Structure 1
Amino acid sequence: MSFTYRGSCLCGQVTFEVSGFKEHIANCHCAMCRKFHGAAFGTLSQVKNLTWLSGQELLKDYVAPNGTIRTFCSHCGSSIGFRSKGNFLPEIELSLALFDEDIPIKIDAHIYTDYQSNWYEITDALPQYKEGWE
């Protein structure tokens, strides 16, 4: 049996579907993820078989000074995803908040906790890493 999971941006003009998610997923507390998502952390995942259904022409990139790439919808501003320096759009890690239905994932850890905001306290028992996955 094959499943697909659909997602969209806030205005609904950027839509996509995937067939699955990578094995390990973390809440990232780095300053760039916090600012990009407007939240205490960002939760993104590499996906399997990403297909853009609509709105790919609305995707815009912000390239940070360190070369990482943040992709967003140019119409509504929704945070779409993240790519490492040199990676192309098919290698994007998508924001899990974009999915329009329940998805079969489990958060494994908190990463970049040395940069977490002072107003958010991590209260779960997930492993915490000061930088990336250590």
Structure 2
Amino acid sequence: MADETESGERGNVKTGGCLCGSVRYEVRGELRPVVNCHCSQCRKTHGHFIGYTSADRNDLVLAEESGLRWYQSSEKARRGFCHQCGASLFWEPTEGSSVAISAGTLDAPTGLKTVRHIFVAEKGDYYEIDDGLPQFPGTMRGHPLPEA
């Protein structure tokens, strides 16, 4: 394995974690570009909309998980958070092979770009989305992501 740089990046491996260090992870595969979710659950969980990247579940390796807890937020998904510092880290569907990762929990530099907004029909009334990126009223199913 290559030496770790100050950025927390080792070769193709990206690292990240919570504020207090009770959850640390590595992603040993490709990360999807960032998608901003404006749904009411994400806004209540994070205090604002959230930027998520995504990886194959098998590529996510927990290096430290003593603080990790899961909350079953719906029949379709659960959310991973640190019970020590409160950081919201993951969103994992009950079906499928991916896990969404809060982009802000990745160690810099991420090399990622934000590519769209989803669930804009549920966005907060206290902000505007004016960055020119594509916007979808709900999910982005049926709308492929551009290449990273």
- TM-score with structure 1 length normalisation? 0.85
Return the letter of the residue paired with 1:46.
S
Inter-CA distance 38–99: structure 2 relative to 1 (3 Å threshold): same
Q: Percent identity?
A: 31
Letter aligned with residue 47 of structure 1: A
Flag structure 2 segments of 5+ consecutive residues without an equivalent.
3-10, 144-148
Instruction: Describe the SS at the equivalent of 2:66.
Output: helix
C-alpha distance in 1 between matches for 2:81 and 2:15: 17
Aligned to 2:73: 64
Equivalent residue, structure 2, for 1:122: 129
**Residue 46 of structure 1 corresponds to which residue in structure 2?**
54
Q: Which runs of 4+ in 1 moved over 4 A?
A: none
The CA deviation at 1:92 is 2.1
In structure 2, give the amino acid aligned to 1:97. G
Give me the whole-angstrom Cα distance separating, in 1, the residues matched to 2:100 and 2:72: 15
* Aligned pairs for 1:11-90 within 5 A: 11-39=20-48, 41-47=49-55, 49-54=59-64, 56-86=65-95
Aligned to 1:102, the other structure's residue is in SS state coil
Note closer, same or farther for the CA distance 1:50–1:71 as it changes in structure 2 (3 Å cut).
Answer: same
Distance in 2 of aligned mates of 1:11 and 1:23: 26
8 A contact 1:83–1:92 mirrored in 2: yes
Give the whole-Å Cα distance in 2 for the aligned partners of 1:26 and 1:71. 18
Q: Give the 3 Å change call, closer, same or farther, for CA 5–92 of structure 1 in structure 2.
A: same
Contact (CA 8 Å) 2:37, 2:120: kept in 1 or not? yes
* Count of residue pairs brought into register by the alignment: 130
Please, which moves more after superposition, 113-122 or 41-50? Answer: 41-50
